[in-house]
């Protein structure tokens, strides 16, 4: 496990260079910090690094000692690599003790960087475990209100035209701890890590649906997985025809078993439960199937007594991943506030960061390329002067939608919520450097 302090330790007594330009309250810095030629920044960070050299592994005289791993040949080649034994970054499992295949595992987003989620750390949500599918015996049936029912082997599908897209998938239940009365005492990934981002490659679903020939009266498509509960969900035909993909590959290689091997329905920008894993059946109908997971679950009871249903879309969200709850800031000085933003409705156009609990905001730098329905990494320079601070981030997407404060989300949805929580997240930094999840 990456030490939480990795990002925020070891540089003693950072001087605050005059060129680190404040842009909002609490020490937020102009994004020139991220310009390639950061001469001014360098001046501000320099002294610490020079001082840090005074340790046993490297004398302070400008030379290096020879470490033990340079005194002997290294390990041989490997057919399939693994992380260093010094890294213990893993998914955090939260499963039903009585039904071990029912539950979730969280992507440790606060221990990752960039935008790609390694496939081994992609979040899991299973209702009855991971089926061990032999692809030679797997079939996809398209039937119901079609001109001709069609059945495909995995090899059949692999011969169709493909496309690749960098797309996030987020569980509709992600971040649901936000509905609780008290803030969950967990780091970012174990509150918001039911979201992951991969390059998915597969066959545009429209090609197969047109091959089967959809009855014009068909308005819904029911997708069924080959797991032991035969997980089943309904999607409008319009979505199926518009941009769904029958994915065979994830991050270059065949989809991992826990993410739907050998075939997953990817519904870009829509909640994870619709991205049916181990896909085996697509039935065209004129009404939704009204399964448990689209009636009693993945819906929201509003204050009016009515319930929101078929709330497919993932609205814009952002979360600061570093610093995060549980960390301790080792001292004052320069830090990078880094996080992820995403929207199911398109591109993230703006992420603002506040260090004073929302009184003032400044634009974070967005890592290019900013792609639609893909994780966007944002970064913000921050000079922490040691005073208590509250860090927040706020995403805006290309539809103009702005991520709401928690109070606004609660006012709209009430206290019966469980799904689709996307409010602004706040981390409080106390004078002793401890970082805590707060509602603020």
Q: How far is the CB of 285 from a copy of itself (least distance, A)?
A: 15
Q: How far is the CB of 191 from a copy of itself (least distance, A)?
A: 18
Among the listed ranges 182-190, 258-266, 303-311, 417-425, the one in contact with a copy of itself (CB under 8 A) is 258-266
| Tokens 């590959």 belong to residue | 249
Out of 24, 28, 130, 435, point to the residue binding a copy of itself (CB under 8 A). Answer: 130
- Contact between 216 and a copy of itself by CB under 8 A: the answer reads no
> Distance between CA 289 and CA 223 in Å, rounded?
10
Region 383-422 residues binding a copy of itself, contact defined as CB under 8 A: none
Q: Would you say 346 or 357 has its CB closer to a copy of itself? A: 346
Q: How far is the CB of 331 from a copy of itself (least distance, A)?
A: 11
Region 55-114 residues binding a copy of itself, contact defined as CB under 8 A: 55, 57-58, 60, 62-64, 67, 69-87, 89-91, 93, 95, 99-101, 103-105, 111-114
Region 6-65 residues binding a copy of itself, contact defined as CB under 8 A: 6-11, 33-34, 36-39, 41-43, 45-46, 48-50, 52-53, 55, 57-58, 60, 62-64
Residue 289: other Cβ atoms inside 10 A = 17
Among 329, 315, 274, 280, residue whose Cα is nearest residue 175: 315
- Contact between 261 and a copy of itself by CB under 8 A: the answer reads yes
Out of 17, 177, 184, 230, point to the residue binding a copy of itself (CB under 8 A). Answer: 230
Q: Would you say 226 or 353 has its CB closer to a copy of itself? A: 226
| Tokens 């090609």 belong to residue | 207
Name all contacts of 146-151 with Cβ < 8 Å and 24+ positions apart. Answer: 146/209, 146/212, 146/213, 146/214, 146/215, 146/218, 146/284, 147/212, 147/213, 147/214, 147/215, 148/212, 148/213, 149/212, 150/208, 150/211, 150/212
Q: Would you say 169 or 423 has its CB closer to a copy of itself? A: 169
Q: CA 438 → CA 75, 113, 266, distances in Å?
A: 46, 24, 34
Region 312-371 residues binding a copy of itself, contact defined as CB under 8 A: 334-336, 338, 367, 369, 371
What is the edge-to-edge ordering of all strands in the sheet holding 150-153?
Answer: 150-153, 139-144, 279-285, 220-225, 232-236
Strands 333-342 and 376-384 turn out to be antiparallel
Region 144-163 residues binding a copy of itself, contact defined as CB under 8 A: 148-156, 158-163
> Distance between CA 268 and CA 274 in Å, rounded?
10
Out of 4, 24, 110, 133, point to the residue binding a copy of itself (CB under 8 A). Answer: 133
Q: Would you say 235 or 410 has its CB closer to a copy of itself? A: 235
Phi, then psi, of 62 in degrees rounded to 5: 85, 15
Q: Would you say 161 or 305 has its CB closer to a copy of itself? A: 161
Q: How far is the CB of 107 from a copy of itself (least distance, A)?
A: 9
> Distance between CA 90 and CA 122 in Å, rounded?
10
Q: How far is the CB of 204 from a copy of itself (least distance, A)?
A: 6
- Contact between 207 and a copy of itself by CB under 8 A: the answer reads yes
x/- letters, 267..306, toward a copy of itself (CB under 8 A): -------------xx-------------------------
Q: How far is the CB of 303 from a copy of itself (least distance, A)?
A: 35
Q: Would you say 80 or 306 has its CB closer to a copy of itself? A: 80
- Contact between 121 and a copy of itself by CB under 8 A: the answer reads yes
Torsion over CA of 333, 186, 357 and 322, rounded to 10 degrees?
Answer: 40
- Count interface residues toward a copy of itself (CB under 8 A): 145
Q: Which SS3 state, helix, strand or coil, does residue 316 take?
A: coil
Out of 26, 27, 131, 178, point to the residue binding a copy of itself (CB under 8 A). Answer: 131
H or E element that contains 42: helix 39-51
Q: Would you say 104 or 410 has its CB closer to a copy of itself? A: 104
Q: CA 54 → CA 13, 19, 67, 225, 390, distances in Å?
A: 15, 27, 16, 58, 34
């Amino acid at each position: 496990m990456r030490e939480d302090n990795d990002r925020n330790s070891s540089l003693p007594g950072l001087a605050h260079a005059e060129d680190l330009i404040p842009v909002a309250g609490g020490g937020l810095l102009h994004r020139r910090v991220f310009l390639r030629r950061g001469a001014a920044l360098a001046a501000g960070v320099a002294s610490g690094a020079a001082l840090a050299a005074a340790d046993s592994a490297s004398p302070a005289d400008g030379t290096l000692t020879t470490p033990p791993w340079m005194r002997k040949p290294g390990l041989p080649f490997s057919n399939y690599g693994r992380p260093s034994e010094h890294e213990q970054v893993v998914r955090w499992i939260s499963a039903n003790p009585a039904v071990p295949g029912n539950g979730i595992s969280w992507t440790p987003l606060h221990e990752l960087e960039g935008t790609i989620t390694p496939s081994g750390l992609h979040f899991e949500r299973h209702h009855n475990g991971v089926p061990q599918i032999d692809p030679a015996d797997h079939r996809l049936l398209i039937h119901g209100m079609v001109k001709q029912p069609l059945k495909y082997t995995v090899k059949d599908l692999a011969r169709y035209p493909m496309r690749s897209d960098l797309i996030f998938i987020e569980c509709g239940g992600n971040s649901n701890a936000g509905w609780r009365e008290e803030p969950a005492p967990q780091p970012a990934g174990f509150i918001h890590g039911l979201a992951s981002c991969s390059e998915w490659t597969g066959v545009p679903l429209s090609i197969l649906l047109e091959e089967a020939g959809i009855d014009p009266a068909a308005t819904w498509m029911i997708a069924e997985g080959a797991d032991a509960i035969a997980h089943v969900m309904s999607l409008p035909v319009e979505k199926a025809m518009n941009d769904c993909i029958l994915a065979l590959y994830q991050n270059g290689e065949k989809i991992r078993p826990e993410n739907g091997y050998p075939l997953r329905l990817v519904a870009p920008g829509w909640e994870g439960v619709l991205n049916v894993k181990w896909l085996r059946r697509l039935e065209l109908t004129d009404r939704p199937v009204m399964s448990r997971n689209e009636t009693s679950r993945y819906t929201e009871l509003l204050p009016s007594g009515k319930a929101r249903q078929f709330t497919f879309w993932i609205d814009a969200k952002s979360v600061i991943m570093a610093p995060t709850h549980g960390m301790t800031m080792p001292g004052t000085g320069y830090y990078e506030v880094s996080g992820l933003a995403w929207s199911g409705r398109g591109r993230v156009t703006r992420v603002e960061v506040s260090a004073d609990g929302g009184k003032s905001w400044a634009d974070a730098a967005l890592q290019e390329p900013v792609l639609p329905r893909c994780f966007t990494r944002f970064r913000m320079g921050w000079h922490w002067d040691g005073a208590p601070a509250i860090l927040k981030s706020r995403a805006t997407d290309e539809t103009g939608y702005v991520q709401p404060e928690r109070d606004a989300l609660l006012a709209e949805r009430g206290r019966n919520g469980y799904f689709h929580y996307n409010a602004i997240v706040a981390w409080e930094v106390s004078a002793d450097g401890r970082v805590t999840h707060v509602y603020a």
